[in-house]
Amino acid sequence: MRGIDTNVVVRFLTNDDKRQAKAARAAIEAGDIFITTTVMLESEWVLRSGYGFTPERIVTGLRGLAGLPGITVEEPARTAQALDWTTGGMDFADALHLAGSNACDGFLSFDRKLIRAARGKPAIPVTAP
């Protein structure tokens, strides 16, 4: 199994550098690829901030990549939950943090937008400290 970096994910999803995109596609199509949670997080950030992708486009791209044969995602349930919440309007990083805290009694944040976005979604309450 081979892990891949954010730049491989981004080349695969954007095809912005034809040579690197071709190499990324070949590596991914060969299978036996591992994608860490941190690579998923950084990929979302790069696609959003660097490429101006909408949350819907990012979710579609990351889900499509994660669903390819030969791809293993580090924390598939956590990542899937975070992508679902992102589709519902939550920031992906916030959603990933929250999904990773599912064994907790609560999640504390000063981020009022997160508190509002999380209302009714997670199994744990999100409140200000």
Q: Does residue 91 belong to any structural domain of this protein? A: no
Res 122 pLDDT > 80:
no
Kindly report the number of other CB atoms within 10 A of residue 94's CB atom. 21
Confidence at residue 10, expressed as pLDDT on a 0 to 100 scale: 98
Q: Does residue 43 belong to any structural domain of this protein? A: yes
Q: Answer yes or no: are the C-beta atoms of 50 and 17 closer than 8 Å.
A: no
User: Domain limits at 68?
Assistant: 2-74
Q: Does residue 99 belong to any structural domain of this protein? A: no
Total domains, the chain = 1
Confidence at residue 93, expressed as pLDDT on a 0 to 100 scale: 97
Confidence at residue 123, expressed as pLDDT on a 0 to 100 scale: 79
pLDDT tens by residue, 66-116: 999 999 999 999 999 999 999 999 999 999 999 999 899 999 999 999 999
| Cα dihedral: 90, 6, 51, 86 (round 10) | -10
Task: Return the SS3 of 95.
Answer: helix
Confidence at residue 120, expressed as pLDDT on a 0 to 100 scale: 83
Q: Does residue 128 belong to any structural domain of this protein? A: no
Tokens encoding 64: 């499509």
For the domain that residue 21 is a member of, what is the CATH number?
A: 3.40.50.1010
Q: Does residue 39 belong to any structural domain of this protein? A: yes
